[in-house]
Every structure is written in structure tokens, then in C-alpha cells.
Amino acid sequence: MDQAERQAEDEREIFEAFAEIAPFTVLPCSIESRKSPAPDILCQIENRGLVGFELTELIDQAYMARIGLMFKTKQYLNSYWQSKLNAADSMLFRNKYSDTLLHFEYSQETSLKERKIAAKKAFPKLLHLPNNSDGEFLKSDPELAPVLQWIQISRVGLVEPIIDVSSYGRLGDPTAQAITKKFKKNYECDYPIELLAHINWGIMPHEEVWIAAAEKIASQLSDSPFRRVWIFDNTDKKIKYAYEK
């Protein structure tokens, strides 16, 4: 299954979840995936006929990229001392930091590659710190800066070393950008279409913020190809917002 097929399958699953709670009845087995320039989904709605739905995900891609970088960095660091150090150094690190949370404070605009390079230089330095070191170390170290700013060592009674990093940045509101992008798109079909914006991770700013953004953009619905806008939270299976021409 290629990427386009996976995306079409995901869109059908999201639409089917939406259809289960929507205030209309989608006729069984009528849901079809369509390719651009048609809307993503075509279905038959009871007493309404054919209706197309264009889907868009409400997600702050920059925020998710930062979260992804955080997890990849943590995974690398926590596996490094166990599998990349030689056996003697790995055992030494475990014994020296067995009860410790180590926070690696990286500069915000650094890549995973840069973080890995700095980490390889940092671990030998950690091995040479005095036993029971507690506090902030390696700050402004010329071999680590500016990528790795410091390492905070906290003795918190763990059973083995745990390494953590920051994700940085605030969660933005993707609502206006995602909906506006779809409003500007041209579709080729001879049936009415509606926009289904969906939330899949439960990662959104405060509801009042994104609903205000949705209302502002939806007020331009008459100039768009859509007759309705829906915002569906696929996490808790609720329609959070609906607007009609």
C-alpha cells in the first residue's frame, strides 16, 4: 500500500467515525474515496443525495515536528549509554547515575544530527564527573556549545538513569490556515461539497481560541466551494463546531 492509498484509507476511517454521530444518515456502502480535483470522499446521504466531503486535519505541524525531534532525541540518548558505550563504560554510567534524571538542554534551533554529535562528546565528560554530582554541569563547554547548553543532573531516586530533553515552543492554532487553504482550492464535481476538519491527537489550543478562529473563517463560507464546515474531534468522537451557508 503506497502513501496515497494509506491516506485514502485513513480519510475513510475518519469520515466513517464522523458519519456515525453526524445529524444525517449516510447510506450503507456508499462511501467512496475520490482523487483530486474531486473532494476526498463521496457518499449518499439519506434524503439529500450525493454529497462530497473534503477533509483536512487541524494540527500544528511545526509543534508536532518539535515533539517528534524531542522523542527522537530522548530515544537516542537513553539508548546510547546502553548500546553505544563499551560494556565497561555502560556499566560505569549505570552505576554513577542509577538514581538520576539527566536533562540535556539543547539550543532550540538544532537538528537531530547536531544533537547526536554533541551527545557523543558529552557522555565521556559525564563519565568523568565526580560520583554523586548533582546540579547543572558542562555549561558553555566549548566542545558542546552552542548545540548542547548544559546538562542538569537531578538525584531523584530512580532505579536506572533516565535522560530527558525539552520540546520548546508554544502550541499554535492551525485552524485558520487549514480551512483557508481548502477554501482557496478548486474542485471538479457536480454535487454539493462540505468541509470536514478533523482533530486526531487532542492537541489543540484552548477551545475558545480555535472556535473563534473557525467562526472568523467560516464567515467567508459564501465565497468558498463549500456549503458547510464541520469540525470533528476524532479523539473523543464529537462534533465540536458546525457552520452552514
* Residue whose cell numbers read 554530582: 133
Q: Is residue 137 part of a domain?
A: yes
Which residues have CB under 8 Å from 48's CB, separation 6+? 24
Task: Report yes or no: 165 and 155 within 8 Å, Cβ to Cβ.
Answer: no
Q: Is residue 218 part of a domain?
A: no
pLDDT of residue 170: 66
Picking from 103, 111, 96, the residue whose alpha carbon sits closest to that of residue 138 is 103
CA atoms of 135 and 202, how far apart (whole Å) = 35
Prediction pTM value: 0.70
Q: Render pLDDT for 11-31 as a digit per residue (tens, 0 to 9).
A: 999 999 999 999 999 998 999
Q: Which amino acid is at 30?
A: S
Count of domains in the chain? 2
Q: Which of 147, 165, 183 is the last residue of a domain?
A: 165
- Is 232 found in the same domain as 143? no
Return per-residue pLDDT of the chain as tens, 245 residues: 688 889 999 999 999 999 999 999 999 899 999 999 999 999 999 999 999 999 999 888 787 788 899 999 999 999 999 999 999 999 999 999 999 999 999 998 899 999 999 999 999 999 999 999 999 999 999 999 999 999 999 999 888 999 999 877 666 788 888 999 999 999 999 999 999 999 887 666 667 777 888 888 888 999 999 999 999 999 999 999 999 87
- Is 44 found in the same domain as 73? no
- Is 137 found in the same domain as 82? yes
Domain that holds residue 134: 62-165
- Is 120 found in the same domain as 73? yes
| DSSP 8-state secondary structure symbol assigned to residue 15 | H
- C-alpha cell read off for 174: 492551525
- Is 152 found in the same domain as 68? yes
Q: Is residue 209 part of a domain?
A: no
Q: Is residue 150 part of a domain?
A: yes
CA atoms of 14 and 19, how far apart (whole Å) = 9
Q: Is residue 229 part of a domain?
A: yes
Q: Which amino acid is at 57?
A: E
DSSP string, 216-245: HHHTTGGGSS-SEEEEEETTTTEEEEEEE-
- Is 111 found in the same domain as 49? no
- Is 137 found in the same domain as 74? yes
Q: Work out the angle at residue 98's Cα, subtended by the Cα atoms of residues 129 and 66, and round it to the nearest 5 degrees.
A: 85
Which residues have CB under 8 Å from 111's CB, separation 6+? none
- Sheet holding 228-233: strands in order across? 32-33, 41-45, 49-57, 193-199, 228-233, 238-244
- Is 44 found in the same domain as 129? no
**Coil, strand or helix: which one is 12?**
helix
Q: Which of 165, 183, 213 is the last residue of a domain?
A: 165
Q: Give the number of other Cβ atoms within 10 Å of residue 223's Cβ.
A: 8
Which residues have CB under 8 Å from 173's CB, separation 6+? 60, 204, 205, 209, 210, 213
- Is 33 found in the same domain as 91? no
